[in-house]
């Protein structure tokens, strides 16, 4: 079968790359071995946020005198999660791909040579595709399994097991201190994992401003989660198939749990993808230039988690828009270097919300990263709880905001908020950082009273405006 563009992987990045290429006048085929919609729709963003919402709302309600939240009905929460992931049925997404229109081929895709992809279906049938213009790799990522003696044989949980949980374990151990570990430890603790223990090598949310992880750790401890920083796991065992898992820690202590969730990062999904046939190393991530093309080729592109830039759905979709548009422009012989045809966002530090209690919302560089880049940095902090809008959200609202200012240009290069309901503050920060809005101009963007957004005014006043 000949087609203009072949996309391997129908996750959010792959679907959008195909969509933009078709919008640009090309034909496309999308190859998917599991579910159209990818990790995000069925096992990651959507189910995790559905599981976190009751915890968030309960915390909100508990801060407002005169209101009380009853106990969480776990069965109903799990049922809503199942509805949110369409019961792992991808017919809706498959229909969406069909309507682009693009062909959806079920099976495992593999590069076999320049512009050539082989698709092996579950029944062994092989289809060969030839791309006239481009092949886009959008295969996502898979969990990293740390080399800990006994771990593989102890049937550990990975993120999919946690997000599609049917029966919440009473005793849960979580290895890792990143986003998955923090979100799922809090969600499952709220849903019945009474004894939840977080085993963290360093601090929590280590890629963000230190106060973000510190405030999440404090909130977790207050809710009864046992947060152990500086913890090392020496060995793991599960003696009986239906028995508990035993975690032997580096300090000689032992922890017993019903399940052990391993959340120690993800790596590009490139196993058996045929990268060697394109002259590339078989290991990921698949590095790309800012048009999302693999250097040294004029036909191979990679978007989303597989290129390792920022493992976030919205960034994968952004890269996919760039990629699909660039492929269409190049195929038509149009200029391919317009401003929307290059990835200008990933390198700045992607916007991200961690849906913990408190939430963490950040964009751009941390103060340390900015200094590391040699910038003349000034850090401005403000107590979010001192903003009227935050006070009105509930008693005992605590939070913190940080702006990282590039003093040479008087613009923001990074902003971080940690506090309840800060997610929606993030896009204003993203605009300020991306558009490099001068602080003197930002001063005239007046936040409405009484909203939490007034923190923008306070940060600028604190800076000296
Ligand atoms: C628990 C969890 C929660 C998350 N929450 C958020 C969040 O709230 N917000 C956010 O922005 N990000 C979140 N993420 C990250 C987000 O899920 C990923 O960044 C996103 O799914 C990446 O999209 P993608 O299209 O690159 O890959 P994926 O979504 O992984 O899709 C890749 C697709 O390719 C298919 N595939 C792989 N190899 C082949 C092959 N050889 N042939 C055919 N098909 C193949 C797979 O079956 C899959 O459908 C979360 C991640 C996890 C683990
Ligand atoms: N809300 C969101 O935006 C969201 C939610 C979940 C996941 N994600 C994305 O998914 C990706 C994967 O998340 P993640 O939490 O698995 O990865 P991560 O990179 O955020 O965190 C990995 C954690 O594991 C620890 N770790 C690594 N190796 C270890 C080892 N051998 N022993 C002990 N600890 C070890 C690290 O120190 C770190 O704390 C991230 O890039 C994240 O951005 C995003």
| Ligand 2 centre distance from Cα of residue 336 (Å) | 35
Which residue is associated with the tokens 């959200």? Answer: 393
Specify the residue with its C-alpha closest to ligand 1, atom 37.
139
213 lines ligand 1 (CB under 6 A): no
**In the numeric block, which tokens belong to residue 40?**
């995000």
Specify the residue with its C-alpha closest to ligand 2, atom 28.
264
| Ligand 2 centre distance from Cα of residue 143 (Å) | 9
Q: Which CATH number fits domain 152-264: 3.30.70.260, 1.10.10.10, 3.40.50.300, 3.50.50.60?
A: 3.50.50.60
| Ligand 1 centre distance from Cα of residue 10 (Å) | 9
- Measured CA to CA, the distance from residue 26 to residue 133 in angstroms comes to 9
Specify the residue with its C-alpha closest to ligand 1, atom 52.
44
Q: Report mean pLDDT in 10-residue bins for the chain, 465 residues.
A: 98 98 98 98 98 96 94 98 98 98 98 98 98 98 98 97 98 98 98 98 96 98 97 96 96 98 98 96 96 98 98 98 98 96 97 98 98 98 97 95 98 98 97 98 98 98 98
354 lines ligand 2 (CB under 6 A): yes
Of ligand 2's listed atoms, the one at least distance from the Cα of 205 is 39
9 lines ligand 1 (CB under 6 A): yes
Closest ligand to residue 354's CA: 2
Enumerate residues 6+ apart whose C-beta is below 8 A from 182: 198, 204, 205, 216, 220, 354, 356
- Measured CA to CA, the distance from residue 267 to residue 397 in angstroms comes to 37
| Ligand 1 centre distance from Cα of residue 270 (Å) | 13
**Nearest C-alpha neighbor of 140 from the set 306, 357, 13:** 306
pLDDT tens by residue, 421-438: 999 999 999 999 999 999
| Ligand 2 centre distance from Cα of residue 311 (Å) | 10
Specify the residue with its C-alpha closest to ligand 1, atom 45.
9
Percent of the chain with pLDDT over 70: 100
Specify the residue with its C-alpha closest to ligand 1, atom 34.
9
Phi, psi of 109 (to 5 degrees): -90, 150
230 lines ligand 2 (CB under 6 A): no
Specify the residue with its C-alpha closest to ligand 1, atom 53.
44
136 lines ligand 1 (CB under 6 A): no
201 lines ligand 2 (CB under 6 A): yes
**In the numeric block, which tokens belong to residue 453?**
């957004």
> DSSP strand E in 270-389: where?
300-302, 352-354, 359-364, 377-383
Q: Name the residue ranges covered by the structural domains of the chain.
A: 2-43+85-142+268-341, 152-264, 358-463
**In the numeric block, which tokens belong to residue 239?**
């003696």
Q: DSSP letter at 332?
A: H
| Ligand 1 centre distance from Cα of residue 43 (Å) | 8
Record: fold of 358-463: Enolase-like; domain 1 (3.30.390)
- Measured CA to CA, the distance from residue 257 to residue 246 in angstroms comes to 7
Q: Which CATH number fits domain 2-43+85-142+268-341: 3.90.1150.10, 3.50.50.60, 3.30.499.10, 3.40.50.720?
A: 3.50.50.60
What's the burial of 92, exposed, middle or buried (CB within 10 Å: 0-12/13-18/19+)?
exposed
**pTM for this prediction:** 0.98
Of ligand 1's listed atoms, the one at least distance from the Cα of 110 is 41
Task: Give the residue, out of 16, 20, 30, 44, with the most ligand 1 atoms within 8 A of its beta carbon, to mutate for a pocket test.
Answer: 44
394 lines ligand 2 (CB under 6 A): no
pLDDT tens by residue, 32-73: 999 999 999 999 999 999 999 999 999 999 999 999 998 999
What's the burial of 301, exposed, middle or buried (CB within 10 Å: 0-12/13-18/19+)?
buried
146 lines ligand 2 (CB under 6 A): yes
Specify the residue with its C-alpha closest to ligand 2, atom 2.
354
| Ligand 2 centre distance from Cα of residue 306 (Å) | 15
356 lines ligand 2 (CB under 6 A): no
209 lines ligand 2 (CB under 6 A): no
Closest ligand to residue 51's CA: 1
Same CATH topology for 2-43+85-142+268-341 and 152-264: the answer is yes
Sign of CA dihedral 158, 163, 165, 166: negative
305 lines ligand 1 (CB under 6 A): yes
| Ligand 2 centre distance from Cα of residue 265 (Å) | 4
Residue 323 confidence (pLDDT): 98
Specify the residue with its C-alpha closest to ligand 1, atom 3.
44
| Ligand 2 centre distance from Cα of residue 151 (Å) | 18
């Amino acid at each position: 079968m000949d087609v203009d563009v072949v996309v391997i992987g129908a996750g959010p990045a792959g679907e959008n790359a195909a969509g933009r290429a078709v919008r640009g006048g090309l034909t496309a085929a999308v190859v998917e071995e599991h579910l159209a919609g990818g990790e995000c729709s069925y096992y990651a963003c959507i189910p995790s946020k559905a599981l976190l919402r009751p915890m968030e709302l309960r915390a909100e309600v508990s801060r407002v005198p005169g209101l009380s939240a009853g106990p969480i009905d776990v069965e109903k929460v799990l049922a809503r999660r199942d509805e949110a992931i369409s019961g792992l049925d991808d017919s809706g997404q498959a229909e969406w791909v069909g309507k682009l229109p693009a062909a959806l081929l079920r099976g495992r895709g593999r590069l076999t040579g320049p512009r050539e992809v082989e698709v092996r279906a579950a029944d062994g049938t092989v289809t060969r595709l030839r791309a006239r213009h481009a092949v886009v790799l959008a295969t996502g990522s898979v969990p990293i399994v740390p080399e800990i003696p006994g771990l593989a044989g102890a049937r550990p949980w990975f993120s999919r097991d946690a997000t599609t949980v049917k029966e919440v374990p009473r005793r849960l151990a979580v290895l890792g201190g990143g986003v998955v570990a923090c979100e799922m430890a809090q969600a499952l603790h709220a849903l019945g994992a009474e004894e939840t223990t977080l085993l963290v090598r360093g601090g929590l949310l280590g890629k963000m401003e230190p106060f973000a992880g510190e405030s999440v750790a404090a909130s977790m401890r207050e809710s009864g989660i046992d947060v152990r920083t500086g913890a090392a796991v020496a060995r793991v065992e599960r003696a009986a198939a239906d028995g508990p898992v035993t975690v032997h820690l580096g300090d000689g202590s032992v922890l017993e749990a019903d399940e052990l969730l391993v959340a120690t990062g993800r790596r590009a999904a490139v196993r058996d993808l045929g990268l060697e046939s394109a002259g590339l190393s078989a290991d990921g991530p698949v590095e790309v230039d800012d048009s999302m093309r693999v250097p040294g080729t004029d036909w191979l592109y990679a978007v989303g988690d597989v290129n390792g830039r920022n493992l976030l759905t919205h960034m994968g979709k952004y890269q996919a828009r760039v990629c699909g548009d660039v492929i269409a422009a190049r195929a038509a012989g149009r200029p391919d270097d317009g401003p929307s045809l290059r990835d200008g966002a990933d390198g700045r530090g992607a916007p991200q919300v961690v849906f913990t209690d408190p939430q963490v919302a950040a964009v751009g560089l941390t103060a340390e990263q900015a200094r590391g880049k040699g910038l003349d940095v000034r850090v401005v902090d403000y107590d979010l709880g001192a903003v009227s809008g935050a006070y009105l959200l509930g008693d005992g609202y605590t939070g913190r905001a940080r702006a990282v200012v590039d003093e040479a240009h008087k613009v923001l290069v990074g902003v971080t908020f940690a506090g309840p309901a800060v997610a929606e503050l993030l896009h204003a920060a993203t605009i300020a950082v991306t558009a490099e809005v001068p602080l003197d101009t930002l001063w005239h963007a007046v936040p409405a009273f009484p909203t939490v957004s007034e923190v923008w005014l306070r940060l600028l006043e604190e800076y000296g405006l």
